Amino acid sequence: MVLSFFRAGDSGLDHVVTRSVAMVNDARHSFDLACMALMSGADPQSVSDDVRETDLRINANEQQLRSELAVHISVHGPNDIGEVIGLILLLKKIERVGDHAKNILDLAESGVSFLDEPDIDELLEERRTVSGFFTEASEILAEHEGIPEGFRDRLGEMTSQIQSRIDAYMTSDQPGHQVVPRAVYHRYLKRIVANLNSAVLAATEPVRVIDPTE
């Protein structure tokens, strides 16, 4: 610990960004496992420990990195305030994604399974797309080159698609035990996509520029 002063290493913000990429990957891991329990017939108990431990790790990282951001501001002063605000938002969004992944697992643990549903292929495809968004988000955070063209549009389209499904469930004539779990699942899925969208935005544009001439 004492030698940390003499060792070379990432500056504070770079270190936080690196760790936040690992947190996104952790969140993806939780999401994939939780969805597997919901859609592939895997025993939810077999993945429960892993998902909950990963969620705890994400939460602990969020707390620790927020403390490190406080240290950064104390040492460097307000020069990096924009980036620090962005990173605090980013960490919060990733932590929420982790929470929603855990919520999906809770759904599976309460006995919900989509394995035998007629539209399982569609649901799996939807899950694959969302899982891919995690990968793209972590690449965006790691590469520092801004948001790839069309990425946020695709997230927006997915959000709309999920919302349409939720709307359809709300007015469905199907029995509650069939549509309610789907509506709840899609609600979590929508929040995950929205939080990933907010996370990349927070990292690249921490404070929205308000231009009165526009």
Partner 1 sequence: MSRDTTLPVVARPPGTANRQMPTGARAALVVGLIYLFLVGVSSLEAGIKIMGADTQERLFSAVSNPIAGLCVGILGTVLVQSSSASTSVIVGLVASGALGVEQAVPMVMGANIGTTVTNTLVSLGHVRQSAEFKRAFAAATVHDFFNVLAVSILLPIELIFKPISGIAKWVSELLVGSGGTEWKSPVKKWVKEPVGWLKDLWDQFGASGNVKGALMVATGLVVVLIALALVTRNMKALVAARIERSLNAILGKAGGLVALVVGMIVTIAVQSSSITTSILIPLSAAGVLTLRNAYPVTLGANVGTTITALLAALAASSPDSLTVALAHTTFNIIGILSLYALPFFREVPVIAATAMAEIAVRRRVLAVCYVVGMFIVAPLLGVAILR
| Residue ranges in contact with partner 1 by CB under 8 A | 1-2, 4-7, 9-14, 17-18, 64, 67-68, 70-76, 79-80, 82-83, 86, 144-152, 201, 203-207, 209
SS3 at position 149: coil
CB contact at 8 A, 10 and 18: yes
- For the CB of residue 7, give the shortest distance to partner 1 in the complex, in Å: 7
- For the CB of residue 138, give the shortest distance to partner 1 in the complex, in Å: 14
Closest to 60 measured CA to CA, from 48, 52, 50: 52
The whole-angstrom separation of Cα 57 and Cα 62 is 8
Minimum CB distance to partner 1 smaller for 89 or for 120: 89
Minimum CB distance to partner 1 smaller for 13 or for 42: 13
- For the CB of residue 88, give the shortest distance to partner 1 in the complex, in Å: 12
> Hey, how many other C-beta atoms are within 10 angstroms of the C-beta on 158?
21
Dmax over Cα atoms in the chain, in whole Å? 67
Q: Go through 108-118 and write b for each residue having 16 or more CB atoms within 10 A of its CB, e for each that does not.
A: bbeebbbeeee
Minimum CB distance to partner 1 smaller for 75 or for 170: 75
SS3 at position 163: helix
Q: Read off the amino acid at residue 112.
A: V
Minimum CB distance to partner 1 smaller for 72 or for 182: 72
- For the CB of residue 205, give the shortest distance to partner 1 in the complex, in Å: 6
The whole-angstrom separation of Cα 111 and Cα 130 is 23
Q: Read off the amino acid at residue 137.
A: A
Minimum CB distance to partner 1 smaller for 120 or for 147: 147
CB contact at 8 A, 115 and 137: no
- For the CB of residue 102, give the shortest distance to partner 1 in the complex, in Å: 24
- For the CB of residue 9, give the shortest distance to partner 1 in the complex, in Å: 6
CB contact at 8 A, 134 and 128: no
Minimum CB distance to partner 1 smaller for 68 or for 109: 68
